[in-house]
């Protein structure tokens, strides 16, 4: 049942175009493609399994795993386990731990720090050249 919801969520062309644009902007400001796509998908759903993330973000399982490692490192996601009906391993369910405005603010801050660092290096180059 969860898988059907994931497929239905990714069905709308308008939503897909909006997600693609959002992910593209995240990539342009410095997030890796996989992280941007997973983050974009998670922002559009209350919670998801890794399989749902694979389908919804159009990534393979290893790509989702790598992206989730980075998202966990940044503490942007919360995880919980849910028993699988029947036998087998429980599902790991992911949910964003931070709001999108908080994540965007973090990215803005990191980009500002990087721009400041680059400007200091440029100023240093100028001062070395003039000596």
- What pLDDT digit, counting tens, does each position of 29-53 carry? 989 999 999 999 999 999 999 999 9
CATH architecture of 2-98: Orthogonal Bundle (1.10)
Position with higher pLDDT, 18 vs 76:
76
Question: So what's the pLDDT on residue 23?
Answer: 92
In the prediction, which pLDDT does 5 show? 47
d(CA 103, CA 79): 18
4 pLDDT above the threshold of 70: no
- Percent of residues, the chain, with pLDDT higher than 70: 89
Strand partners, 53: none
Q: Per mean pLDDT, which range of 14-23, 75-84, 98-107 is the poorest?
A: 14-23
Question: Residue 56's closest CA among 1, 93, 94, 3?
Answer: 3
What residues does each domain of the chain span? 2-98, 99-131
Helix axes 50-57, 61-73, angle to 10 degrees: 110
| Residue 45 CB coordination number (10 Å) | 17
* CA–CA separation, 61 and 114 (whole Å): 31
pLDDT band, very low/low/confident/very high, at 1 (cuts 50, 70, 90): very low
Longest dimension (CA), the chain: 75
Of residues 52, 92, 98, the one with CA closest to residue 75: 98
The yes-or-no verdict on residue 2 having pLDDT over 70 is no
| pLDDT in the model for residue 11 | 52
Residue with tokens 């059907």: 4
């Amino acid at each position: 049942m969860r898988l059907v919801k994931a497929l239905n969520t990714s069905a709308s062309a308008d939503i897909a175009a909006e997600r693609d644009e959002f992910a593209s902007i995240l990539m342009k400001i410095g997030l890796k493609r996989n992280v941007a796509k997973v983050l974009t998908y998670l922002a559009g759903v209350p919670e998801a399994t890794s399989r749902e993330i694979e389908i919804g973000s159009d990534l393979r399982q290893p790509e989702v795993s790598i992206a989730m490692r980075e998202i966990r490192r940044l503490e942007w996601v919360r995880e919980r386990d849910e028993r699988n009906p029947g036998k087998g391993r429980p599902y790991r369910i992911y949910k964003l731990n931070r709001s999108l405005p908080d994540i965007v603010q973090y990215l803005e801050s990191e980009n500002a720090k990087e721009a400041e660092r680059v400007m200091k290096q440029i100023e240093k180059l100028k001062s070395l050249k003039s000596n």
